[in-house]
Structure 1
Amino acid sequence: MTAIVNRSLFDEPESLPLLSIQTLVNLDSSGCVLIVAPHPDDEALGCGGAIALLRQLDLSVNVLVVSDGTKSHPNSQTYPPPALKKLRERESLAALKILGVESKAVTFWGLPDGAVNTYKASQEAIAHCYNFLTALAPSMIFLPWRKDPHADHRASWQIFTTASQRLPKPPQLIEYPIWDWDRQQRGSFTESLKAWRLDISSVLELKLRAIAQYRSQISDLIDDDPQGFRLTPQILQNFTRPWEIYLQSQ
């Protein structure tokens, strides 16, 4: 694994070591992995390949979606917040089923999209997260990158990192980037990290099919909000490569 200090690894991602899932995961059949997604679709974009590979190893994978995702099209009359919330949950469940995760292993917290940051220092949020982690007992947690440009991503990292550190046996934490792929948003690295690429070439087709389930985010399905969010082809191409990037504290 490569240590990254004071530069963006997104400038030359191909220079990072390419590892297999077997190299990264040393869990027995009872091991549990938790994927934390700040919004519905982050899990497929950032970790879709890892999820599929973990399930092919017959490891237990649970997914927690933190926010309701309703800020993507705030002015839509066809999909007002309650309807959009349900739509995005359906998209997540469809995508995750393709990756091998059944609906019973998916939890939607439903925090307000764009406002997760207001909960990050809340003792109630930390306690809720701690209770969730205690019940699930994951050996490994995939979290959004701690310095992702999106505030909901950073807040999700903080909530779960704080809660996991209070567990008797803290799980291994692995971080995945989303919005650092956007040159206009990304920041620079100011600390030493381990970074690598995970080879997902054998499950890339599954990941692409999973991403395609998020029609609300990648197509004109919701066409009555001129200011609605849409993942551009330029951004999407960063998540359709035969590898995914992960980071971890030294």
Structure 2
Amino acid sequence: MHSGPEKARALDQRAIILDDVQSLGSMLILAPHPDDESLGCGGTIIRLRQAGLPVYVVFVSDGSMSHPNSPTYPAGRLRDLRETEAREALSRLGVSADACTFMRLPDTAVPFPDQQGFAEAVATLVGLIEAVHPATILVPWERDPHRDHRATWQLLQTARTHLTMPTRVLEYLIWLWELGRPDDMPRPDERRVWKVPIDTVIDQRNRAIAAHASQVTRLIDDDPTAFYLSPELLTHFERPYELFLEV
């Protein structure tokens, strides 16, 4: 398996700089979990907002499985905490608190096409996209190594078959660096690679990541099985640019 930096370099060598964020237009972002928006495309969100472009974020899952065995944060309380953190992160990215929707699908069980709840989730997503009418949609990469990220990609693919408006779709990267296998990597003939510079806004982006305190600190310390975005994991997001893939 290639290391995270090696994988990044492989894509970096193919990347075309996309510095004119105005060309992306209004944006809708699909975040499988609260924090994916900041990790995967937070710098780009800031730059879009600085350019006066509207940004809307859809949080797909309820995030309640990051600490599944915490006695002090059972699922409902953890969901509420993560939604509060998400709104604070959006504020730090320059996005208003009302410019988001929480779909509250089950964390680690966002449905795939052959599973119960998929059609209903697609219908909800179609309604949101038609209401927001974005020029561009951001979604995790098709083979990002987390089942909820892949399911979110599938939701969008099906939703697009019901849309009459044309929308550009860019895919962002979260777990490819840490968990990706060679066959998870995009092939050279499969996607165009874009690079959005975020060096001027990376400190602000980092403050948005820090808003997800339940994920990046030991705020909840009573579940030894908990997920934790350690400083070592976060090094994958220290690059002064964000990469996006496009068919």
* TM-score under structure 2 length normalisation: 0.90
Instruction: Say yes or no: does 1:142 pair with 2:147.
Output: no
| Deviation sequence 1:147-203 (CA, Å, 0-9, x none) | 111110011111112212321122100000111011465623355110122100111
Change (3 A) 1:38 1:214: same
- For residue 86 of structure 1, what is the aligned residue in structure 2? 80
Aligned length: 238
- For residue 208 of structure 1, what is the aligned residue in structure 2? 206
- For residue 4 of structure 1, what is the aligned residue in structure 2? none
The DSSP-based 3-state class of the residue aligned with 1:175 is strand
- For residue 51 of structure 2, what is the aligned residue in structure 1? 57
Which moved further from structure 2: 127-136 or 216-225?
127-136
Q: Which runs of 4+ in 1 moved over 6 A?
A: none
Instruction: Say yes or no: does 1:244 pair with 2:242.
Output: yes
Which moved further from structure 2: 58-67 or 110-119?
110-119
- For residue 101 of structure 1, what is the aligned residue in structure 2? 95
Following the alignment from structure 2 to structure 1, what is the Cα–Cα distance between the partners of residues 27 and 125? 15
Q: 1:73 aligns with which of 67, 71, 76?
A: 67
Change (3 A) 1:58 1:32: same
Alignment of structure 1 residues 78-227 onto 2, 5 Å: 78-118=72-112, 122-183=118-179, 187-190=184-187, 192-227=190-225
Change (3 A) 1:128 1:46: same
Specify the code of the residue in structure 2 equivalent to 1:36.
L
Following the alignment from structure 1 to structure 2, what is the Cα–Cα distance between the partners of residues 120 and 107? 24
Change (3 A) 1:234 1:16: farther
Which moved further from structure 2: 37-46 or 163-172?
163-172
- Contact map agreement 2:144 2:175 (CA 8 A) in 1: yes
Q: CA RMSD in A?
A: 1.9
| Deviation sequence 1:37-91 (CA, Å, 0-9, x none) | 0000000000000000000000000001000101000000111111100110111
Following the alignment from structure 1 to structure 2, what is the Cα–Cα distance between the partners of residues 14 and 147? 18
Q: 1:37 aligns with which of 31, 34, 39?
A: 31
